[in-house]
Amino acid sequence: MTDYRNMGAEETWRVFRIMAEFVEGFDELSRVGPAVSIFGSARIKPGDPYYELAVDTARFVGQAGFAVITGGGGGIMEAANKGARQAGVKSIGLNIELPHEQVPNKYQNLPLHFRYFFCRKVMFLKYALGFIVMPGGYGTMDEFFEALVLIQTLKQAHFPVICMGREFWKGLIDWMSEMLDKKHHYIDPQDINVFTLCDDPQEAARIIKDFHLSNGRCGIRQPPGIRKWTNGQ
């Protein structure tokens, strides 16, 4: 028979653990300064073109004056932290406890540890001036669409969302444009233009830097250069 009194006590302590994660995250990241969150697959290995693209992108982002925030694990996360270290900027890893333990990569110089995904996602959003989304799986898609929903619903001021790797993203973006917008009208036409498709690490860094110089921490509207993507042109 379930003891609901003990269950209630356990849930109360869970609230304090959640609060502790928020307090630590707010305290550490509020002192970092301008930062960019970079997402992508943990399964990509060094030497993969997307791994090297992530290293280069993070390095240019760092050279543009931004710290880099990742999920702290391997693959794209490791690559982005590596690029940040090469640029000499804060290389932040928001590590998560998983049943199959995530091994923190060695390129972090500010590691934080989270038990709860939702606490971690708040940190990705609250302290980033832009998102760079590399190829990845379910977790990457979750973070990508979370950003789009917050912009669409005006819960978050506009910020650059850049999808790196045209070949990887183009099919999804074409499907979103055709099925969600044109055919079913599940989104407004302007909702398809809140992110940028890009292959050039320097261009990605420039977009974020120009946006930051024009808008400060955030903006009410995205500048024209951010609101468009092209069909392979």
When pLDDT is averaged across residues 216-220 and rounded to a whole number, the result is 53
| Domain parsing of the chain, residue ranges | 4-215
Dihedral angle sign, alpha carbons of residues 84, 86, 87, 89: positive
pTM for this structure? 0.88
Band of residue 224 on the pLDDT scale cut at 50, 70, 90:
very low
Q: Comparing 98 with 29, which gets the higher pLDDT? A: 29
Assess whether pLDDT exceeds 90 at residue 230.
no
Ordered DSSP codes for the chain: ---HHHHHHHHHHHHHHHHHHHHHHHHHHTTT-SEEEEE--SSPPTTSHHHHHHHHHHHHHHHTT-EEEE-SSSTHHHHHHHHHHHHTS-EEEEEE--SSPPPPPTT-SEEEEES-HHHHHHHHHHT-S-EEE-S-SHHHHHHHHHHHHHHHTTSS-B--EEEE-HHHHHHHHHHIIIIIIIIT-SS-GGGGGSSEEE--HHHHHHHHHHHHHHHTT-BSS--TTTS---S--
With contact defined as beta carbons under 8 Å apart, do 23 and 117 qualify?
no
Assess whether pLDDT exceeds 90 at residue 69.
yes
What CATH topology corresponds to 4-215?
A: Rossmann fold (3.40.50)
**What is the residue-averaged pLDDT of the chain?**
88
Q: What was the pLDDT predicted at 26?
A: 96
Band of residue 193 on the pLDDT scale cut at 50, 70, 90:
confident
Tokens of 123: 């940190």
Count Cα atoms within 13 angstroms, Cβ side, for 90. Answer: 24
Q: Could you tell me which of 167, 168, 166, 148 has the C-alpha nearest to residue 158?
A: 148
Look at 60-64, 172-176, 181-185, 219-223 and tell me which has the smallest mean pLDDT: 219-223
Band of residue 103 on the pLDDT scale cut at 50, 70, 90:
confident
Look at 18-22, 41-45, 48-52, 189-193 and tell me which has the smallest mean pLDDT: 189-193
Band of residue 66 on the pLDDT scale cut at 50, 70, 90:
very high
Assess whether pLDDT exceeds 70 at residue 233.
no
**How many Cβ atoms from other residues are within 10 Å of residue 151's Cβ?**
18
